[in-house]
Structure 1
């Protein structure tokens, strides 16, 4: 076996094409910007055009291409439409980041069936169908990276957010199953499990007089994550530097799971 000298070029994504679902808002916009900064051309998938101008401006700075497709990924045949669009526009798909997700809160005995289905359809079913469709393209290329976004709730009970917890446990299981199935095609499948992140969505939780301090005291790092602290890990998992990493769910949680 020839021993190669390590190079920072292994983190370079120049010439790669990445699809990011929910890639123009929330943490998704940070994943998109990270991959663009590292050299990738990006295809942002979202239900609306919210955040597109910001991504366009960032891509202009990095000098890499940014394309957009407004589509509901839970709709019938959405996965095939996304793949057809990506291959028509870019000719290939190197990276898929399954980021789009949602949560709904209810008491256990009052959880409406329609809300259960909404969360499961977006967080797990849509992820599965898009991964399957993209993997077929990657298999013909004999290369690819699929990065799923899990959660701390993949390890915990998820009080009041039962379908969210179930879906994120499912994401971890699917990550392992697809990593095994696709390894023969040189496709690596991994997941990121973000901890508690400082975003507009989590502001009410941070400011809650009981839960806010409880969560903060549970984090050895002593602070909620800044969204930018999730950017390096997505570049790593998308790059050649992670070519021998597959089937892993990587917590980025400031040590939350240690306690």
Structure 2
């Protein structure tokens, strides 16, 4: 039912986890896809290969979304290859430990630079393209941490809460250009980001006990709502945050 044929999607952090699952799902819906990644050439190339095997166009661009020069390069290369950008998924992010009172300034800055500044930089580059097209879809990936806070990860929660506010602000600002801006807020997901803490079986059971649906989801289960927001089925939704967390955080 969802068909993105003729659309070009740019997905940051697309070599693994939620970004990878989203790139693959978009391609299955007939979109052409560009992904960004920071370091893992092999993983990024595998995503591109899988998408091309579906008969869609795909490229992977290595760069740091927190650096303006890298972002400008990325957007330029996507335009050179595809000629346009219809959909932007701001997915790239990091999650680290940081107890307040002990957190080094460098940890705070790194998180804000990647999780928040990176969203600003690439959105700032892509919006003029979408304005000229008078069509665009921007989906920002936040977190339950941005909705309720997260002890010992206040820097991460602050960056993700800011993304929700950024989403609401841009939704109003860009509505007249037919650019819809929405947010997806996952909870715990079985990704590389969580792999280290999930090595502890007791912790995994503790996490499951906080989720009414009783399990930890796979990245593909987050990609589905992202695809929905990029599709024509969501043409009357903007400024929304969709909670995709198995009922663990109920935010209206």
If the TM-score is normalised by the length of the shorter chain, which range does it land in? over 0.9
Q: CA deviation at 1:209?
A: 5.7
Unaligned runs of 5+ residues in structure 2 are none
1:71 maps to which residue?
63
Q: What is the CA–CA distance in structure 1 between the aligned matches of 2:151 and 2:203, rounded to whole Å? A: 13
**Equivalent residue number for residue 130 of structure 1:** 122
Worse-matched range after superposition: 215-224 or 181-190:
215-224
Alignment partners' CA distance in 2, 1:258 and 1:98:
23
Post-superposition CA distance 1:34-65 (Å, at most 9, x none): 11111111111112314123212311331100
Q: Which residue of structure 1 aligns with residue 28 of structure 2? A: 37
Root mean square deviation of aligned Cα: 1.6
Measure how far apart 1:120 and its partner are: 0.0
Q: Which residue of 1 aligns with 2:11?
A: 20
The two structures have a TM-score, normalised by structure 1, of: 0.91
Who is 1:90 aligned against? 82
Gaps of 5+ in 1: 1-7
Residues in 2 aligned to 1:257 and 1:144: alpha-carbon distance in whole angstroms: 29
Task: Give the TM-score taking structure 2 as reference length.
Answer: 0.94
Change (3 A) 1:258 1:110: same
Q: Is the 8 A contact 2:98 2:107 kept in 1?
A: no
Q: Distance in 1 between matches of 2:202 and 2:61?
A: 41
In 1, are the aligned partners of 2:4 and 2:26 still within 8 Å (CA)? Answer: yes
Match of 1:157 in 2: 149
Deviates more, 1:234-243 or 1:144-153: 234-243
Instruction: State the aligned residue count.
Output: 250
Secondary structure of the structure 2 residue equivalent to 1:109: coil
Counterpart-to-counterpart distance in 2, 1:258 and 1:76:
36
Match of 2:180 in 1: 188
Residue 104 of structure 1 corresponds to 96
